[in-house]
Amino acid sequence: MDRKYEIAKLLSEKTMMSPEDIMGIIETPPDMALGDFAFPCFRLAKQFRKSPQMISQEIASGITELPSFLDRIEVKGPYLNFYLSRLDYAKSTVREILEQGERYGSSDEGQKRNVVIDYSSINIAKPFHIGHLSTTVIGSSLYKIFNHLGYNSVGVNHLGDWGTQFGKLITAYKLWGDRDEVNEGSIHALLKLYVRFHDEAEKDPSLEDQGRYWFKQIEDGNPEALELFDWFKELTLKEVQKIYDILNIRFDSYAGEAFYNDKMAPVIQELEEKGLLKDSEGAKVVDLEDYGMPPCLILKSDGATLYATRDLACAFYRKKTYDFYKNIYVVAYQQNLHFQQLFKVIELMGYEWAKDMVHVAFGMVSMTEGTLSTRSGRVIFLEDVIRDVINRAREIIEEKNPDLPDKDETAKQVGVGALIYSTLSNNRIKDIVFDINKILNFDGETGPYVQYTHARACSVIRKAGDLEDVVPDYSEIASEEAYPLVKLLGDFPEVIKRAAEKYEPFYITRHVTQIAQAFNKYYYDVRIIDEDRNRTKARLDLVSATASTIRTGLALLGIEAPERM
Ligand code: ARG
């Protein structure tokens, strides 16, 4: 039951406003002592020609019969404060959570509509560096959040598998490469070849011509060039798959830039027909001056297509293939302009679905000095970060809980959890600085802290033993101590909805952290297991509901919740 909506309906009868409008006015008081919901009467003053204070009085005295979910209504100046019946609220919330389990907070609002999410989108022949962690983790979380709300998420890894750099790579490989060495060293060997190409090309510019030549060979389908290119691609995908496996990341499609090679011509033609293409020093552009943006480059003077041209073809392909409700790009804010241009061009072509394209931007990731042993000074490889975090988690577990079974598996869950949590622990647009010791601090606002709280709740449940047949006395969890926790659990579905609306998994991170904090406070204030079996059973139901909600929340972020730590 949506209590806020029930209150809105009640007020609607007294104010001649629609429940929907009232929903927008109802507030959540900053302090629980002021009730669970508040209705400010300021906006009614004009219509009623009375002071808000008088209006709140009148509405209150007009409500003669309280619905059972409400305990009381109090007038406080211009405000009407609504107090829920704590018993009713605690009982129904905990029951709902225990009934729904991992489905808690799910809904069918999505009605199976497709939400395309473009995330991770790595570049071939380049190692997975720490900059790609955010897109991978944010995108994967959004994927789960939208599915939870009844949408059908479609995860796309829009591979960066096109561009002149692949011609350079083939040149470098043919000059200095060795098949076994590359098979062995994989992306790192390719990166080395690429770096060498640039060093040598500074001395010998003819290398650039060779690079262009080999790129043309890929474009023209020369078998040797294609064989090498496909091999580079295969090596890269095999390598990054290891990381996806550890992080538990999946995709439904790997259609990347090369996939759109044969899909650009009709789009370019349509731009031409709609009079949107302009010549600019031999190149073709869409002029966006009226919108305060530089022109969007569609074709270079030599006829070559660009990143934007591919993304344009890609947007049409996705619309046709998935008829998406939203088409989301999880890409760093450095590409803000690119996406603004892309969306504008589609709008200018006259497609109303341009409004369904969303750029979910995020900030930069860096590491504090000295927290990581990297293979090369400049680039931070995600592989190294993951390895170090897991090793460190293993050490901490060894220290805290040497008898734990499955120490390796738990270390992996905790290390990866710490990494994902910290990536999602702030508004995504903020820059992040990783500090391995901080993100693994069991007492801070961290993944391990939330996981540890979950494990603690599980341990309480184990200790209590079997209370299957005991009837819970729920008045016990309508108490002053329990209610803040109950309230947070009850808010969880709303938080998921807001996270989807704002494309902000961080809302869930913040909320599960608050639940963990509230639970720990409850745990210190109250003895969970005592002689009174009915009360004990009610408290344990609350503990189970807490563990279950934390587990669901963490799962939506992509973090596992071990039962023992
Ligand atoms: N591969 C690009 C990069 O690493 C990101 C691609 C994002 N997706 C897209 N459709 N443009 O910067």
pLDDT in tens, 249-289: 999 999 999 999 999 999 999 999 999 999 999 999 999 99
| Domain layout of the chain by residue ranges | 3-84, 86-114+127-144+339-565, 163-249
Cα–Cα distance for residue pair 435/419, rounded to 1 Å: 10
Give yes or no for a contact between 283 and 297, defined as CB atoms under 8 angstroms apart.
yes
DSSP notation for 369-411: TTS---SSSS--BHHHHHHHHHHHHHHHHHHH-TT-SSHHHHH
Nearest alpha carbon, ligand 1 atom 4: 122
Confidence band, pLDDT 50/70/90 cuts, at residue 376: very low
Instruction: Tell me the CA–centroid distance for residue 336 and ligand 1, in Å.
Output: 12
pLDDT in tens, 82-104: 999 999 999 999 999 999 999 99
Strand order in the sheet with 37-40: 37-40, 79-84, 70-76
535 lines ligand 1 (CB under 6 A): no
158 lines ligand 1 (CB under 6 A): yes
Residue 329 DSSP SS3: strand
Q: Which atom of ligand 1 is nearest to the CA of 123?
A: 1
Q: Which atom of ligand 1 is nearest to the CA of 314?
A: 10
Q: Cβ neighbours of residue 256 under 8 Å, at least 6 residues apart?
A: 121, 157, 158, 159, 160, 161, 162
pLDDT score of 378 more than 80: no
pLDDT in tens, 382-400: 888 999 999 999 999 999 9
Instruction: Tell me the CA–centroid distance for residue 487 and ligand 1, in Å.
Output: 41
Testing ligand 1's pocket by substitution, the residue of 116, 132, 158 carrying the most ligand atoms inside 8 A of its CB is: 158
- The pLDDT score that the predictor gives to residue 370 is 57
How high does pLDDT run on average in the chain?
94
Q: Which atom of ligand 1 is nearest to the CA of 132?
A: 4
Cα–Cα distance for residue pair 398/400, rounded to 1 Å: 6
Cα–Cα distance for residue pair 188/432, rounded to 1 Å: 26
Per residue in 246-269, is it b (16+ CB within 10 Å) or e — as a string? bbebebebbbbbbbbeebbeebbe
Instruction: Tell me the CA–centroid distance for residue 226 and ligand 1, in Å.
Output: 22
- The pLDDT score that the predictor gives to residue 230 is 94
Cα–Cα distance for residue pair 267/157, rounded to 1 Å: 22
171 lines ligand 1 (CB under 6 A): no
pLDDT in tens, 159-177: 999 988 999 999 999 999 9
Q: Tell me the CATH number for domain 3-84.
A: 3.30.1360.70
pLDDT score of 456 more than 50: yes
257 lines ligand 1 (CB under 6 A): no
Q: Lowest-pLDDT range, 27-31, 44-48, 75-79, 209-213?
A: 44-48
Instruction: Write down how long the chain is.
Output: 565
- The pLDDT score that the predictor gives to residue 373 is 47
Cα–Cα distance for residue pair 350/504, rounded to 1 Å: 30
For the full predicted model, state whether its pTM sits above 0.85.
Answer: yes
Please name which of 298, 262, 255 lies closest in space to residue 116, comparing C-alpha atoms.
255
Which amino acid belongs to residue 5? Y
Give yes or no for a contact between 8 and 1, defined as CB atoms under 8 angstroms apart.
no
- The pLDDT score that the predictor gives to residue 372 is 52
Q: How far is CA 368 from CA 77, 272, 373, 439, 443, in A?
A: 51, 50, 12, 12, 20
pLDDT in tens, 289-313: 999 999 999 999 988 899 999 999 9
pLDDT in tens, 315-333: 999 999 999 999 999 999 9
- The pLDDT score that the predictor gives to residue 366 is 82
Instruction: Tell me the CA–centroid distance for residue 560 and ligand 1, in Å.
Output: 28
Q: What is the 3-state secondary structure (H, E, C) of 56-90?
A: HHHHHHHCCCCCCCEEEEEEECCEEEEEECHHHHH
pLDDT in tens, 466-511: 898 999 999 999 999 999 999 999 999 999 999 999 999 999 999 9
Instruction: Tell me the CA–centroid distance for residue 152 and ligand 1, in Å.
Output: 22
pLDDT in tens, 469-479: 999 999 999 99
Confidence band, pLDDT 50/70/90 cuts, at residue 515: very high
> How far, rounded to the nearest angstrom, does the alpha carbon of residue 125 sit from its chain's CA centroid?
26
pLDDT in tens, 419-448: 999 999 999 999 988 888 899 999 989 999
Taking residues 371-388, what's their average pLDDT?
71
Q: Which CATH number fits the domain 86-114+127-144+339-565, given the four candidates 1.10.530.10, 1.10.730.10, 1.10.286.10, 3.40.50.1370? A: 1.10.730.10
pLDDT in tens, 42-63: 999 988 899 999 999 999 999 9
Confidence band, pLDDT 50/70/90 cuts, at residue 374: very low
Instruction: Tell me the CA–centroid distance for residue 330 and ligand 1, in Å.
Output: 8
- The pLDDT score that the predictor gives to residue 371 is 53
Confidence band, pLDDT 50/70/90 cuts, at residue 129: confident
Testing ligand 1's pocket by substitution, the residue of 257, 317, 331 carrying the most ligand atoms inside 8 A of its CB is: 331
- The pLDDT score that the predictor gives to residue 369 is 65
